[in-house]
Structure 1
């Protein structure tokens, strides 16, 4: 399996000037504006705070842009659901007892599990973990040098 590509700033490999310039140009072609990266109005306050926190942190690493708005909104919304479900579990416990004495898992456990799964999927797509960010860099096609023995076959 090939190793994932890294951004130029993260590369430790010795590169020629041409390789560095080519890599810089490839990274520039992938960049989109960041001017619309604001939390949507439908998000609850706690989700807006998480949205802004992630956008602010990502600005330093320069890897989120306008095209990530919807995924980031889904991530922040599920973050809020997870927090609310966790608070409810803390208040009410992991299980509840019916009038007949049967014990069932709290519905908030299921909500927290689904929200956590969605958070993990979105964070992977957004590159919120270092390993995920490295996977997001699109490899450029490398040109193979022409076979120098082809000339001998034509003779």
Structure 2
């Protein structure tokens, strides 16, 4: 199975300046505006707080657009429900009365799978953030390098 496409800002291979600019322009058009990133009304107060926290933390990255409101909402719901399961497990233990894992454990496992997938979508893992930071650092170095600028035809 092929890997999912990544943003041009995360590119690691060689591309011409025209290819990079075309991809950047296309991504900007598809991302749309980022002026309506507000938590949907159907979220609980706790879920809205989680939504706003994630949004605030990712705001400076510039990767979010209005279309991401649904991914952010689902992430907030998932985190809230994982926390609810954890609270139930802490109160009642891991095992049910039949000696098998409680339903909260099973539900938590399901939400954890969703959580990790959503973290990948939003670049929430430390590895994703490190990769983004490294790519941003490399692109700033390339912009400042006069030799690369000359070789790239940016005289």
For Structure 1 versus Structure 2, the TM-score category normalised by the shorter chain is 0.5 to 0.7
Compared CA separation, residues 31 and 70, structure 1 to 2 (3 A): closer
Of 83, 106, 110, the residue aligned with 1:110 is 106
In structure 1, distance between residues paired with 2:64 and 2:56 = 10
Q: Does 1:124 align with 2:116?
A: no
Residue 145 of structure 2 is matched in structure 1 by: none
In structure 1, distance between residues paired with 2:99 and 2:21 = 64
SS at match of 2:82: helix
Q: How many residues align?
A: 128
- Aligned-residue offset at 1:92: 1.0
- Aligned-residue offset at 1:121: 2.1
Compared CA separation, residues 103 and 11, structure 1 to 2 (3 A): closer
Please list every run of 5 or more consecutive structure 1 residues that lacks an aligned counterpart in the other structure.
Answer: 135-155
Residue 96 of structure 2 is matched in structure 1 by: 96
- Aligned-residue offset at 1:110: 1.1
What is the CA RMSD across the aligned residues, in angstroms?
A: 3.1
Q: Which has the higher contact order (CA 8 A, sep 6+)?
A: 1
Please list every run of 5 or more consecutive structure 2 residues that lacks an aligned counterpart in the other structure.
Answer: 133-155
Q: TM-score, normalised by structure 2?
A: 0.65
- Greater Cα offset, 10-19 or 21-30: 10-19
In structure 2, distance between residues paired with 1:17 and 1:113 = 44
Superposed, 1:13-92 pairs within 5 Å as 21-22=21-22, 24-92=24-92
Comparing both structures, which one devotes a greater share of its residues to helix?
A: 2
In structure 2, distance between residues paired with 1:15 and 1:118 = 33
Question: CA offsets, 1:36-80, max 9 Å, x none?
Answer: 211112212221111111111221111111111122211111111
Q: TM-score, normalised by structure 1?
A: 0.65
Contact 1:44–1:80 under 8 Å retained in 2: no
Contact 2:8–2:20 under 8 Å retained in 1: no
Contact 2:43–2:73 under 8 Å retained in 1: yes
